[in-house]
Structure 1
Amino acid sequence: MELKVLNKETDYHSGYGAGSGEIIRVTYACPCGKSEVVFEKDDIPGFRDSSTICECQECSSKYDFNRGTATIK
């Protein structure tokens, strides 16, 4: 299922010597509507990492989350 976007932020980062990049953070509504799902991506050369965290224990146990989507486990 598609999650509803609540907020998008992109912050510039000067990098760690390999060049500049940005940190992307998107907040979505939790499937139950009681909490939030946060996607964060470090798009900095040499430090590209991403994570998706659901702040709701109930939905965390029911769904697998990816950027903007939730699928039943």
Structure 2
Amino acid sequence: MELKLLDQTSYPHDGYGAGSGTIDEYIYECPCGKGTVIYEKDNIPGFRDRSIHSTCKPCGEKYDFGRGTATQKN
């Protein structure tokens, strides 16, 4: 299922010696509507890390999250 985007922010980052970049954060509405799903992505040369987590424990146990999506766990 598609999640509703609530907010999007981009923060500048000096980098780690390979140049500067940004850290982008996307906040989505949780499938139940009671929490949020936060997707964070590093856009820094040489560092392409990303993380995603839910602030709602029941949905975190029930769904696997992607960038703006939720799929029910088997």
- Normalising by the smaller structure, the TM-score range is over 0.9
Aligned to 1:20: 20
Aligned to 2:58, what secondary structure does the other structure show?
helix
Unaligned residue ranges in structure 1 (runs of 5+): none
Report 1:1-73 matches (<5 A). Answer: 1-73=1-73
RMSD: 0.7
> Number of matched residues?
73
The two structures have a TM-score, normalised by structure 1, of 0.95
Unaligned residue ranges in structure 2 (runs of 5+): none
Shift of 1:16: 1.2
Runs of 4+ in 1 over 2 A off after TM superposition: none
The two structures have a TM-score, normalised by structure 2, of 0.94
Identity percentage of aligned residues? 59
